[in-house]
Structure 1
Amino acid sequence: MKLALSTLGCPEWDIEQICSVGREVGYDGIDFRGYQEQLDVTRHPLFTEQSDTTASKIAHIGLRTSAFSSSIRLCDADAREANVTEAERLVEVATAFDADRIRVFGGGDSDRSTDELARIGGDTMNAILDIDGASDLRWMVETHDEWTSSQDCRRLLDELPEEHTGILWDAAHTIRLADETPTETLDILGDRIEYVHIKDAVLDMSHDDATDDGYVYTLPGTGDLPMNDVIAALHDDGYDGWLAYEHEKRWHPSIPEPEEAFPAFVDWFRSLE
């Protein structure tokens, strides 16, 4: 498997520090979810008018851009125009960075049925694929929000063109929020999973920086989530794609600093090999 760090984990770092630390501690790539003060990197000059310089910096140090993680929500009917506009910017940036994967969310109005939301998602995805260059990329729906359970994700996939779309498995979400074991998730979605997010957490309902379901993110291998089982299940399933460490420092400032967390992830993963 190839290891990527998510820039969610280092919201104060500049591109030089991201690249140098990433290469030094053993990552293969960078998953861009925000850069410093800007969450949408397609609106930052380093990724637009300065894209050639930034992409060269990443390549020169021996890293790749594993993905751009967008805020697109396919099943939000009211945001269709905004979603397509964001996708247009993402296609341009991804092309400049020689990246071939874009993360999207399912999202949508929880008052609508799963079937209706899935149809909306399919319509939005088809509109995105009409963008010049969009069909050269992989559009990955994350197991997130209304689309955390594997069965629901399967319903959404029914509406999406298989040749251009897949699943980004956020293992912490399916375990915590859908009550699925890693093997259960892979049994249902394994043939469509092409990217994986890893993070660990401890249950602490009283913590000021806990998630909505009471978990606090911690260093990998030190929490309550069976992340070792996730890696074992991926190995058993023959997965050899990207494994991105999504350390959510941007959203949860009290969790460990990136200087500690990024090396800890690589050390933990290597200890399982």
Structure 2
Amino acid sequence: MQLALSTLGCPDWDLERILSVGREAGYDGVDFRGYRDEIDVTRHPLFTDRADETRSRLEAAGLSVSALSSSISLCEPGDRSARVAEARRLIEVADAFDVDRIRVFGGGDLDAHSRADLARFGGETMREILAIDGAENVRWILETHDAWTASDDCQRLLDELPADDVGVLWDAAHTVRLAGESPRETLDALGDRIEYVHVKDAVYDPDHHDATDDGYVYAVPGEGDLPMADVVEALRERGYDGWLVFEHEKRWHPSLADPDVALPAFVEWFRDQR
């Protein structure tokens, strides 16, 4: 497996710091989910006007861009122009950096629409995105997230999305915490479509000021309660050799450990799983 860090974990770092720590810690790549004050990297000059310079700096550090993580939600009804425009910008950045995967969300409001209708909206949005010139050159990966976290629910949306163009981003912490699935249950259900994986650890502490809605507080890998070691073991058993991304959500949860500590700790934790 190849290891990538998500820039969610180091929202205050500049590119030099990201690349320096990434290289020294032993990462293979970077998943750009925002850069400093800009969550949409397609609107930052480092990834547009200065893309050649940024790519050269990545190559010099021995790192690649594992994926681009968008904010696109497929299953929202109504005008799709903003989502399609974001997808078009992402395709341009992906082409500049030889990126082969772009993350999307399912999203949608189950209080306002049935799951079947949301899945239909998702299929319609995805087909509109796939009509963009160059969209066929990347894989669009649907994260196990929000209304589409449980494997059965995720599969319901996948049934509306073309398998030739869309895979699954397995956020293992989500399926464990929110869907109550063991890692092997998720892999048995979605393994043929999983081609990118997020991992993070957490402890149950609902009184903590920075707890998630379900009462968990993210932790340095190996210091939490989630079966992340089982995730790695199950992936190896299936012969998975893709990207394993440490998604340290410092941007959303400021009380988490500083990236200087957490990012190297993940690599050390992963090496201990061998």
TM-score normalised to structure 2 length: 0.98
Q: What is the distance in 2 between the residues matched to 1:57 and 1:174?
A: 36
Q: Deviations over 1:83-122 (max 9, x none)?
A: 1110000000111011110000000121211111111111
1:213 aligns with 2:221: no
1:81 Cα deviation from its structure 2 partner: 1.5
Q: What is the distance in 1 between the residues matched to 2:94 and 2:29?
A: 14
Please name the residue that 1:31 is paired with: 31
| Local SS of the residue matching 1:77 | coil
Please name the residue that 1:158 is paired with: 159
Please name the residue that 2:15 is paired with: 15
| Local SS of the residue matching 2:147 | coil
Q: What is the distance in 2 between the residues matched to 1:92 and 1:112?
A: 33
| Local SS of the residue matching 2:89 | helix
Q: What is the distance in 2 between the residues matched to 1:61 and 1:157?
A: 36
Taking only aligned residues, the RMSD between alpha carbons, in angstroms, comes to 0.7
Q: What is the distance in 2 between the residues matched to 1:92 and 1:12?
A: 25
The alignment-based identity, stated in percent, is: 66
| Local SS of the residue matching 1:112 | coil
In the comparison of the two structures, how many residue pairs are matched?
A: 273
| Local SS of the residue matching 1:78 | coil
1:142 Cα deviation from its structure 2 partner: 0.2
Matches within 5 A, 1:1-273: 1-78=1-78, 80-110=80-110, 111-273=112-274
Letter in 1 for 2:26: G
Runs of 4+ in 1 over 3 A off after TM superposition: none
Q: What is the distance in 1 between the residues matched to 2:258 and 2:238?
A: 33
Letter in 2 for 1:101: R
1:266 Cα deviation from its structure 2 partner: 0.2
| Local SS of the residue matching 1:146 | helix
1:79 Cα deviation from its structure 2 partner: 5.1
Q: What is the distance in 2 between the residues matched to 1:240 and 1:112?
A: 38
TM-score normalised to structure 1 length: 0.99
Q: What is the distance in 1 between the residues matched to 2:230 and 2:6?
A: 22
Q: What is the distance in 1 between the residues matched to 2:113 and 2:172?
A: 26
Letter in 1 for 2:113: R
1:78 Cα deviation from its structure 2 partner: 2.8
| Local SS of the residue matching 2:66 | strand
Unaligned runs of at least 5 residues, structure 1:
none
Q: What is the distance in 1 between the residues matched to 2:113 and 2:69?
A: 25
Q: What is the distance in 2 between the residues matched to 1:77 and 1:67?
A: 26
Letter in 1 for 2:63: L
Q: What is the distance in 2 between the residues matched to 1:67 and 1:78?
A: 27
Q: What is the distance in 2 between the residues matched to 1:54 and 1:130?
A: 29
Letter in 2 for 1:30: V
Which range moves more in the overlay, 3-12 or 151-160? 151-160
Q: What is the distance in 2 between the residues matched to 1:95 and 1:60?
A: 19
Q: What is the distance in 1 between the residues matched to 2:79 and 2:26?
A: 39
